[in-house]
Amino acid sequence: MLRFDILTLFPAMVQAVLEQSIPRIAAEQGAVEYHLHNFRDFAEGVHQAVDDRPYGGGAGMVLKPEPIFKCIRHVLPQAELPHMVLLTPQGRPFTQRVAEELAAKPRILMLCGRYEGFDERIRLGWQWDEISIGDYVLSGGELAALVITDAVVRLLPGVLGDEASADEESFGKGLGGKLIEYPHYTRPVEFEGMRVPEVLQSGHHGEIAKWRLEQARKRTKERRPDLLDDE
């Protein structure tokens, strides 16, 4: 069982997604547990401020260290030591390989930022795995945490009905990890003049596997030549 602890100022936003589809099924099956924590609950004063103006001036606000330190210290002893993930555009790029790495952990704590950034002492306080989901700036780490959670839980044993189905996908192990997926067809055999390729109807497993690999290579070359470059 994989336990997620997600620290966020918007738990309802995170909860809404985890209650649907595969993330929900994963929890119902007991493959995963989600624990959401609002670090505003650990902030002091009538206003429970979690951010403040930056030393040195400049635009935007910075997340204060105290509420986040308190929240982490409250959450850490609830289970074994977690792998700690900080969501930030400054992090290492998230890929299918990173999802596989995380799916092997027993516990993951994710810290979602808001505003211009974190007080640097939050970075220095723990050993973080800083992760970015792409070269663009989101309003907060929540969507990034959800992207990562979704990509990880679907890799856990038994979550997708058929154990092998994640391997055959784009970036999956069955395609060598470096190809995007081949085209899929279902019934009807002809739709608006477009026919299902004969080979897929042949029942010849060897020929089908060969066609799929060729198609995956062709698609990757056309759409994502960068994936083939780093061979």
Residues making contact with ligand ADE (CB under 6 A): 87-89, 132-134, 136-138, 141, 144
CA distance 20 to 47: 33
- Of 31 and 133, which CB lies nearer to ligand ADE in the complex structure? 133
Is there a cis peptide before residue 157, judged by omega within 30 degrees of 0? no
Reduced to 3 states (helix: H, G, I; strand: E, B; else coil), residue 214 is helix
Tokens representing residue 17 in the block: 């997604």
CA distances from 124 to 92, 130, 133 (A): 17, 12, 22
Nearest distance from C-beta of residue 68 to ligand ADE, angstroms: 15
- Of 72 and 133, which CB lies nearer to ligand ADE in the complex structure? 133
- Of 87 and 216, which CB lies nearer to ligand ADE in the complex structure? 87
Nearest distance from C-beta of residue 151 to ligand ADE, angstroms: 13
Nearest distance from C-beta of residue 121 to ligand ADE, angstroms: 19
CA distances from 2 to 11, 38, 83, 93, 225 (A): 19, 20, 11, 22, 35
- Residue 1 CA to chain centroid, in angstroms? 17
Nearest distance from C-beta of residue 37 to ligand ADE, angstroms: 18
- Of 94 and 171, which CB lies nearer to ligand ADE in the complex structure? 94
Nearest distance from C-beta of residue 115 to ligand ADE, angstroms: 10
Question: 10, 27 in Cβ contact below 8 A?
Answer: no
CA distance 195 to 192: 8
Nearest distance from C-beta of residue 69 to ligand ADE, angstroms: 20
- Of 54 and 174, which CB lies nearer to ligand ADE in the complex structure? 54
CA distance 24 to 76: 24
- Of 5 and 175, which CB lies nearer to ligand ADE in the complex structure? 5
CA distance 110 to 98: 14
